[in-house]
Amino acid sequence: MAKVWKFGNDVDTDQILPGRYAPYMTGEAALARHAFIEYRPEFARAVRAGDIILAGRNFGCGSSREYAPLALKRCGIAAIVARSFARIFFRNALNLGIPLFESETATQEIADGQEVELDVAQGILVAGERAFPLRPPPAFVCEILHQGGIVEYYRKHGRFPGESDS
Protein backbone atom coordinates (compact mmCIF):
# COMPACT_ATOMS: atom_id res chain seq x y z
CA MET A 1 0.00 0.00 0.00
CA ALA A 2 1.10 3.51 -0.77
CA LYS A 3 0.40 6.61 1.24
CA VAL A 4 -1.14 9.71 -0.30
CA TRP A 5 0.49 13.11 0.18
CA LYS A 6 -2.17 15.62 -0.69
CA PHE A 7 -1.57 19.18 -1.89
CA GLY A 8 -3.75 22.06 -3.03
CA ASN A 9 -3.83 24.23 -6.15
CA ASP A 10 -0.93 26.13 -7.75
CA VAL A 11 1.86 24.41 -5.81
CA ASP A 12 4.89 26.08 -7.39
CA THR A 13 8.41 24.73 -7.84
CA ASP A 14 9.69 27.11 -5.13
CA GLN A 15 7.51 25.15 -2.69
CA ILE A 16 8.61 21.76 -4.03
CA LEU A 17 12.30 22.71 -3.96
CA PRO A 18 13.24 26.27 -3.01
CA GLY A 19 15.96 27.83 -5.17
CA ARG A 20 18.13 28.27 -2.11
CA TYR A 21 18.26 24.48 -1.72
CA ALA A 22 19.14 23.75 -5.36
CA PRO A 23 21.97 21.30 -6.02
CA TYR A 24 23.94 24.34 -7.23
CA MET A 25 23.73 25.83 -3.74
CA THR A 26 23.93 22.79 -1.48
CA GLY A 27 25.20 19.88 -3.58
CA GLU A 28 23.31 17.13 -5.36
CA ALA A 29 23.46 14.52 -2.57
CA ALA A 30 21.07 16.44 -0.31
CA LEU A 31 18.37 16.90 -2.95
CA ALA A 32 15.84 14.36 -1.62
CA ARG A 33 16.12 15.78 1.91
CA HIS A 34 15.08 19.20 0.61
CA ALA A 35 11.79 18.28 -1.05
CA PHE A 36 9.04 20.53 0.35
CA ILE A 37 11.57 21.56 3.05
CA GLU A 38 9.69 24.71 4.04
CA TYR A 39 6.22 24.12 2.62
CA ARG A 40 5.76 20.73 4.29
CA PRO A 41 8.82 19.86 6.37
CA GLU A 42 7.57 16.43 7.48
CA PHE A 43 7.38 15.24 3.87
CA ALA A 44 11.06 14.42 3.30
CA ARG A 45 11.32 12.75 6.71
CA ALA A 46 8.26 10.53 6.42
CA VAL A 47 7.83 9.82 2.70
CA ARG A 48 8.35 6.17 1.69
CA ALA A 49 9.26 4.71 -1.66
CA GLY A 50 6.07 4.07 -3.61
CA ASP A 51 4.06 6.91 -2.05
CA ILE A 52 1.87 9.06 -4.28
CA ILE A 53 1.32 12.80 -4.55
CA LEU A 54 -2.24 13.94 -5.09
CA ALA A 55 -2.64 17.60 -6.01
CA GLY A 56 -5.06 20.21 -7.24
CA ARG A 57 -4.78 22.42 -10.29
CA ASN A 58 -1.57 23.64 -11.95
CA PHE A 59 0.82 21.47 -9.93
CA GLY A 60 4.46 22.49 -10.39
CA CYS A 61 3.93 25.99 -11.77
CA GLY A 62 6.78 28.49 -11.95
CA SER A 63 10.42 27.76 -12.62
CA SER A 64 11.74 25.26 -15.18
CA ARG A 65 14.01 23.71 -12.53
CA GLU A 66 14.09 19.99 -13.25
CA TYR A 67 15.54 19.35 -9.81
CA ALA A 68 12.03 19.87 -8.40
CA PRO A 69 10.59 16.68 -9.95
CA LEU A 70 14.01 15.03 -9.56
CA ALA A 71 13.80 15.58 -5.80
CA LEU A 72 10.39 13.87 -5.75
CA LYS A 73 11.79 10.99 -7.78
CA ARG A 74 14.73 10.65 -5.37
CA CYS A 75 12.20 10.51 -2.52
CA GLY A 76 10.66 7.49 -4.21
CA ILE A 77 7.40 9.12 -5.31
CA ALA A 78 5.79 6.52 -7.58
CA ALA A 79 3.33 8.78 -9.37
CA ILE A 80 1.71 12.20 -9.26
CA VAL A 81 -2.03 12.57 -9.76
CA ALA A 82 -3.31 16.11 -10.15
CA ARG A 83 -6.35 17.93 -11.50
CA SER A 84 -3.88 19.58 -13.88
CA PHE A 85 -0.15 20.10 -14.24
CA ALA A 86 1.93 23.13 -15.13
CA ARG A 87 3.41 22.61 -18.56
CA ILE A 88 7.16 22.65 -17.87
CA PHE A 89 6.82 20.55 -14.73
CA PHE A 90 4.82 17.94 -16.65
CA ARG A 91 7.49 17.70 -19.31
CA ASN A 92 10.36 17.57 -16.82
CA ALA A 93 8.69 14.87 -14.75
CA LEU A 94 7.85 12.89 -17.88
CA ASN A 95 11.45 13.20 -19.06
CA LEU A 96 12.53 11.70 -15.73
CA GLY A 97 10.06 8.84 -16.11
CA ILE A 98 7.69 9.84 -13.30
CA PRO A 99 4.14 8.64 -14.11
CA LEU A 100 1.66 11.52 -14.21
CA PHE A 101 -2.11 11.32 -14.33
CA GLU A 102 -4.86 13.89 -14.44
CA SER A 103 -8.02 13.21 -12.45
CA GLU A 104 -10.79 15.43 -11.16
CA THR A 105 -12.48 12.98 -8.82
CA ALA A 106 -9.53 11.15 -7.25
CA THR A 107 -7.92 14.41 -6.23
CA GLN A 108 -11.12 15.60 -4.60
CA GLU A 109 -12.28 12.45 -2.90
CA ILE A 110 -9.12 10.85 -1.56
CA ALA A 111 -7.85 12.23 1.74
CA ASP A 112 -4.34 13.17 2.78
CA GLY A 113 -2.57 10.21 4.36
CA GLN A 114 -5.02 7.65 2.97
CA GLU A 115 -3.61 4.28 1.94
CA VAL A 116 -4.11 3.57 -1.77
CA GLU A 117 -3.03 1.20 -4.48
CA LEU A 118 -2.05 2.45 -7.91
CA ASP A 119 -1.89 0.31 -11.02
CA VAL A 120 0.18 2.48 -13.33
CA ALA A 121 -0.20 0.19 -16.36
CA GLN A 122 -3.99 0.03 -16.07
CA GLY A 123 -4.36 3.60 -14.84
CA ILE A 124 -6.48 2.73 -11.81
CA LEU A 125 -6.18 4.18 -8.34
CA VAL A 126 -7.86 2.17 -5.60
CA ALA A 127 -8.67 3.80 -2.26
CA GLY A 128 -10.61 1.59 0.14
CA GLU A 129 -13.80 0.48 -1.60
CA ARG A 130 -13.43 2.97 -4.41
CA ALA A 131 -11.61 2.62 -7.69
CA PHE A 132 -10.77 5.74 -9.65
CA PRO A 133 -10.01 5.24 -13.35
CA LEU A 134 -7.33 7.73 -14.35
CA ARG A 135 -7.30 9.46 -17.72
CA PRO A 136 -4.71 7.65 -19.86
CA PRO A 137 -1.92 9.90 -21.15
CA PRO A 138 -1.35 10.21 -24.94
CA ALA A 139 0.42 7.27 -26.60
CA PHE A 140 3.80 8.99 -26.96
CA VAL A 141 3.74 9.91 -23.27
CA CYS A 142 3.03 6.27 -22.38
CA GLU A 143 5.95 5.18 -24.54
CA ILE A 144 8.35 7.62 -22.84
CA LEU A 145 7.16 6.41 -19.43
CA HIS A 146 7.44 2.79 -20.55
CA GLN A 147 11.10 3.37 -21.42
CA GLY A 148 11.71 5.08 -18.08
CA GLY A 149 12.22 8.63 -19.37
CA ILE A 150 13.21 10.64 -22.42
CA VAL A 151 16.92 9.77 -22.25
CA GLU A 152 16.11 6.05 -22.33
CA TYR A 153 13.50 6.67 -25.05
CA TYR A 154 16.03 8.55 -27.17
CA ARG A 155 18.77 5.98 -26.63
CA LYS A 156 16.40 3.20 -27.67
CA HIS A 157 14.73 4.85 -30.68
CA GLY A 158 17.47 7.26 -31.78
CA ARG A 159 14.81 9.89 -32.40
CA PHE A 160 12.43 12.24 -30.62
CA PRO A 161 8.69 11.71 -30.21
CA GLY A 162 7.04 12.93 -33.41
CA GLU A 163 10.17 12.36 -35.49
CA SER A 164 10.19 9.88 -38.36
CA ASP A 165 12.78 7.09 -38.38
CA SER A 166 14.40 8.26 -41.58
| Contact between 79 and 100 (Cβ < 8 Å) | yes
Of the candidates 119, 98, 123, 101, the residue with the CA atom closest to the CA atom of residue 35: 98
Q: Closer CB to other proteins, residue 4 or residue 93?
A: 93
Q: How far apart are CA 47 and CA 39, in angstroms?
A: 14
Site for other proteins in 126-145 (CB under 8 A): 140
Site for other proteins in 84-123 (CB under 8 A): 84, 86-88, 91-92, 95-96
Q: Closer CB to other proteins, residue 129 or residue 165?
A: 165
Q: How far is the CB of 13 from other proteins (least distance, A)?
A: 8
Q: How far is the CB of 125 from other proteins (least distance, A)?
A: 23
Q: What are phi and psi of 54, to 5 degrees?
A: -120, 125
Site for other proteins in 11-40 (CB under 8 A): 12, 14-15, 18-20, 22-28, 38-39
Count residues near other proteins (CB under 8 A).
44
Q: How far apart are CA 145 and CA 122, in angstroms?
A: 13
Q: How far apart are CA 133 and CA 127, in angstroms?
A: 11
Site for other proteins in 43-82 (CB under 8 A): 57-58, 61-67
Q: How far apart are CA 95 and CA 151, in angstroms?
A: 7
| Contact between 145 and 97 (Cβ < 8 Å) | yes
Which residues sit at the interface with other proteins, rule CB under 8 A?
A: 10, 12, 14-15, 18-20, 22-28, 38-39, 57-58, 61-67, 84, 86-88, 91-92, 95-96, 140, 149-151, 154-155, 159-163
